Structure 1
Amino acid sequence: MSNLDVKPAATVCGGREDVSAAPVRELLTARTVPLGESTVVRRLLPNLGRRMVGAWCFVDHYGPDDIAREPGMQVPPHPHMGLQTVSWLHEGEVLHRDSLGSKQTVRPRELGLMTSGRGISHSEESPRDHAPYLHGAQLWVALPDAHRDIAPAFEHHAQLPEVTGGNGLHATVLLGEVDGARSPGTVHTPIVGADIRLASGASARLPLERDFEYAVLAMSGETEVDGVRVGPGSMLYLGSGRTSLPLGADDESAVMLLGGEPFEEQILMWWNFVGRSAEEITEARDAWTSSGRFGEVHGYAGPRLPAPALPATPLKPRGRER
């Protein structure tokens, strides 16, 4: 779960002053970013017009990619701090290794949840014998100040609670709670993540929390979200103030619902780090280059990922919205 930009931008996210208390319909489009040797992702967060949704601060969507004769995902060992990573698949498998000694293959609609805390490193790769297609999302959750220096951890949940809302809606709850179904995944801030599948001709309503802000990430097919058509490569930001969300589809489709209480603290994101100041980011980069703070990942066939150069200009706030 990495940002492999060779010249990553420093981005300040968070704060509640710019979060609408009323519902909105703000369609965000992705930019394409290479990930490893053979994967290209569509990056929805941080976005020029929207940098955070609740504690969700980074969202990549990839595939479906035909990797039958390709190596698939190949992301060398790299560090993280101050965040949780969420691995979510619709097709394929991803082999996770980390500096805690974890080795786990994550499969479709299983939760791979890594809490970096004060520091961890990991790698991600398609297994040597892998499925012909790879399709999924990679997401980060910012840790609040009280928990961002906790010990690192990794969780894998093969069984997750499901919601059958009727009228063609079926949801799997990744994090938090939806309609009384609660995920076993560890969270440190009020948050929700759900994978929603809609049957052909579906017309349904999903209950929401009024105080949460939400967005819907299109995974496959075309979905009508509160009257707005959303297709893969886009995400609809919905704001706050909703108690339910109308969803419909002419043909089968799938989306991810992401939401949570607007994140009160301002965070500074650069490369694979979430901190609070330029000094913290610089220290983390130096530690990855010259110390053992992030540990070692064993078993990956290749060198670890070098840290990119820091920007020539000082890391500074850019605001929640443009």
Structure 2
Amino acid sequence: MSNTEHDPDAVECRHRAATGPKVEILTARDVPLGGPRAMTVRRTLPQRSRSLIGAWCFVDHYGPADITHGGGMDVAPHPHTGLQTVSWLFSGEVEHRDSLGSHAMIRPGEVNLMTGGNGICHSEVATPRTTTLHGVQLWVALPDEHRRTGRAFVNHVPEPVVLSGATLRVFLGSLAGETSPVATFSPLVGAEITLAPHSRVELPVNPDFEHGVLLDTGQVSVAGTELQPSDLGYLGTGAAGLELVNHSAEPARLLLLGGAPFEEQILMWWNFVGRTHDEIVAFREAWEQESDQFGRVEGYEGPVQRLPAPALPAVTIKPRPAAR
């Protein structure tokens, strides 16, 4: 998914150490996805108080949105560098096309991971049979030694893992004895968790990881701290277990995202992850000049064949300082 803001911030993303069971609540801000009839997404990463959880550097949460009368998702071909995109749906269907030649339908319970590396472009369109669109779009920063890697795309359907009080779908990394075969370039975990009504679950987690819990639906507390829907609860390294409690009489759903602290400093602007101002300028110029660095998407039939890059600031990009 593209960052469709007209004047995107340059965000300097760097790890801010935290340890222990205290939960830091990151609240979402609303960002319109495209034109005036398009839906709004709720963005929890990056933000001033925290820009990374492991290598996870971007979290957009959207829906449930009724798109039967127009709107929804129709994102024209747009570029990415230095990252992997992770698409996960709760409902609906999205057609994906990219410059690798991939053409896939993104459906609930299936993870689609695209590696941008040195440059890729893709489009995302909700299909006509979709009535309600609901899901998340996530980005993972690539470590410096891998950020020039080639383009790749993989689809995987994780098998549900049934525990007492919860059902898990582990789409990246390892959790509860289940390991995803999807390759990443840094240690990560990603899972959808559905909690049974009035359930309490203690999940063993990697103490070397920091974790984020994105609440989709329900009334859930994490390590004793209650989250509101769309909140992202952050926990630092050091915890070997994660307590999740569903306080309601209905099932609750959340995403668990985690990873080893990402010690590299990165610069994010628009859809590019780089390291310096000059690099971001070069990425933008290559996209505007229709460089082979990004390739072309075949088969997209939207009204705009490619998203133009926003204008760069008239001065050297000044990243937002990370919170201390």
**Smaller-chain TM-score range?**
over 0.9
- Is the Cα–Cα contact under 8 Å of residues 169 and 204 in structure 1 kept in the other structure? yes
- Is the Cα–Cα contact under 8 Å of residues 19 and 239 in structure 1 kept in the other structure? yes
Instruction: Determine the C-alpha separation between the residues in 1 that align with 2:323 and 2:299.
Output: 41
User: Which contiguous aligned blocks of 4+ residues in structure 1 show a shift greater than 6 angstroms?
Assistant: none
Q: 1:1-322 residue pairs with structure 2 within 5 A?
A: 1-15=1-15, 18-37=16-35, 38-127=38-127, 129-157=128-156, 159-166=157-164, 168-249=165-246, 250=248, 251-290=250-289, 291-301=291-301, 302=303, 303-321=305-323
Q: How much has 1:36 moved relative to structure 2?
A: 2.3
Distance verdict in 2 for CA 1:317–1:122, change over 3 Å: same
Instruction: Determine the C-alpha separation between the residues in 1 that align with 2:315 and 2:159.
Output: 46
Letter in 2 for 1:162: P
- Is the Cα–Cα contact under 8 Å of residues 165 and 206 in structure 1 kept in the other structure? no
Instruction: Determine the C-alpha separation between the residues in 2 that align with 1:266 and 1:297.
Output: 31
SS at match of 1:187: coil
Q: How much has 1:27 moved relative to structure 2?
A: 0.8
Q: How much has 1:317 moved relative to structure 2?
A: 4.1
**Unmatched segments (≥5 aa) in structure 2:** none
Instruction: Determine the C-alpha separation between the residues in 1 that align with 2:217 and 2:316.
Output: 39
- Is the Cα–Cα contact under 8 Å of residues 95 and 106 in structure 2 kept in the other structure? yes
Letter in 2 for 1:160: P
Q: How much has 1:228 moved relative to structure 2?
A: 1.6
Q: How much has 1:300 moved relative to structure 2?
A: 1.2
Letter in 2 for 1:189: S
Fraction of identical pairs, as percent: 51
Instruction: Determine the C-alpha separation between the residues in 1 that align with 2:102 and 2:215.
Output: 31
Q: How much has 1:71 moved relative to structure 2?
A: 4.3
SS at match of 1:23: coil
- Is the Cα–Cα contact under 8 Å of residues 19 and 235 in structure 2 kept in the other structure? no
SS at match of 1:287: helix
Please, what is the CA RMSD of the aligned residues?
1.3
SS at match of 1:89: strand
- With structure 1 as the length reference, what TM-score do the two structures score? 0.95
Q: How much has 1:150 moved relative to structure 2?
A: 0.6
Q: How much has 1:108 moved relative to structure 2?
A: 0.3
Q: How much has 1:2 moved relative to structure 2?
A: 1.1
Instruction: Determine the C-alpha separation between the residues in 2 that align with 1:125 and 1:133.
Output: 13
**Unmatched segments (≥5 aa) in structure 1:** none
Alignment size in residue pairs:
317
